[in-house]
Amino acid sequence: MIARRSLLRTSGAAAAGALGVAALSSTAAAADSDPTAGVTRTLLQEHPSPAEGWEAVQTLVQIPRHKESGRHSHPGVEVGYIVRGDVLMEFDDRPPLRLRTGDPFFIPNGVIHNARNVGTVTTMMLSTYVVDETKPLVTNY
C-alpha cells in the first residue's frame, strides 16, 4: 500500500506533485497565474479493499474560487459528492458536467477529467476512490 497520508497536507512541490495538487506558491503573483494554486486533497481514510491489490481511499478536495484541479486521472473509480460549491467537471472524452452543492458524481477508471470551480466560494468535494494500491492516486496530464 502506498503511504498517502504522509504526502497529503505536506508542503513542498515534491509532495504536492506526487498527489497531483499544486504546491503553495511563495508569491501572490505566481499563485494568481497558476490555475491549480491552493487546491488541496486531505486524506480522510484509507482501507484495503476486499479485492486483492485494491484499496479504498477517501479525501476531502478543496478548490478555491476561480481555480481548478488540473487535468488528471485515477487508477480506479472515483465516487464523489459536492459538499459545497459549483463545479464544471470537464472530460477529455465526453461533454462537461455542471455540479452544484448536493450533487453526486462518478468518474470511471482512468478517465481524464478536470474540476473547475465556477462558483463564488471554495468548493468542497468528498471523493472516494477504489484504486490499484500499487499506483499513485493521481496522474497529472
Question: pLDDT tens, 21-75?
Answer: 444 444 455 567 899 999 999 999 999 999 999 999 999 999 999 999 999 999 9
- pLDDT for 24 equals 41
Which of 140 and 33 is assigned the larger pLDDT? 140
Q: For residue 103, which amino acid is it?
A: D
Residue 23 maps to a domain: yes
Domain at 37, CATH number: 2.60.120.10
Distance CA 55, CA 39 (A): 23
Residue 6 maps to a domain: no
Burial of 24 (0-12, 13-18, 19+ CB in 10 A): middle
Domain count within the chain: 1
Least confident of 10-14, 39-43, 72-76, 86-90: 10-14
Structural domain that includes position 75? 13-140
The sign of the dihedral angle between the CA atoms of 24, 27, 32, 33 is: negative
Residue 131 maps to a domain: yes
Residue 92 maps to a domain: yes
